[in-house]
Amino acid sequence: NGTYQKVGFVYRWDLLQITNVTLLFANEGYVFPRPPLQVSVTVPSANPPLSFELIVVHLKAGVLGEDRARRSDANLLLEPYVRSLVDGQGHPNVIVLGDFNEVLTTSEGRATMAPWLATSRYRAQTDTLANSGGISFLPSSVLLDHIVSTVALDDEVGAERALIPDLDAEYPNYQNTVSDHV
């Protein structure tokens, strides 16, 4: 519905089972110009099968103070929601990912992302990438897209590190025909 941008989740149906597709904060258009999308995911081939809640975000873009404030407000609304999934609803495995429109390598960016940088509850899987110069947003050569997981997924994630596929090098004219993010 509507003409606004929407978030989505692309997956291989033969590898994952998806249920409970829900838009979050749909009435919070100022804070979430694109409502987050939550899906329940099961990986049946894992032994034992692995289930987790996945939340996809695309937070407010822009470099103005108001833009950053809106992203900060979004994180301050979303993090307690995730905490309630873990503590109140018995879903310890949660991944929040997508375009946070924020860098992790500045004090301002870390302040905006602070709810997710509490290492006792969450792991910012893209923190190492950010600190090593990783790029996910091509026009500015910065990392704006992040993956945050709850600590309950530490055993499943293990020592694996997030990686950024080199799609812009693989596909001619990628940025102009597909996306400005990789």
> pLDDT tens digits, the chain, 182 residues: what are they?
455 678 888 899 999 999 999 999 999 999 999 999 999 999 999 999 999 999 999 999 999 999 999 999 999 999 999 999 999 888 899 999 999 999 999 999 999 999 999 779 999 999 999 999 999 999 999 999 999 999 999 988 877 778 888 888 899 999 999 889 89
Q: What pLDDT is attached to residue 3?
A: 59
Q: Which two tokens stand for residue 17?
A: 């089972």
Q: What pLDDT is attached to residue 24?
A: 97
Buried b (16+ CB within 10 A) or exposed e, 16-29: beeeeeeebeeeee
Q: What pLDDT is attached to residue 48?
A: 92
First-to-last C-alpha distance (Å) of the chain? 26
My answer on whether omega of the bond before 48 falls inside 30° of 0, hence cis, is: yes
Q: What pLDDT is attached to residue 107?
A: 95
3-state secondary structure of 160: coil
Burial class (CB in 10 A: 0-12, 13-18, 19+), 159: exposed
> How far apart are the C-alpha atoms of 62 and 144, rounded to whole Å?
11
Q: What pLDDT is attached to residue 88?
A: 87
Q: How many residues does the chain have?
A: 182
> How far apart are the C-alpha atoms of 67 and 3, rounded to whole Å?
21
Q: What pLDDT is attached to residue 2?
A: 54
Q: What pLDDT is attached to residue 157?
A: 84
Q: What pLDDT is attached to residue 89?
A: 82
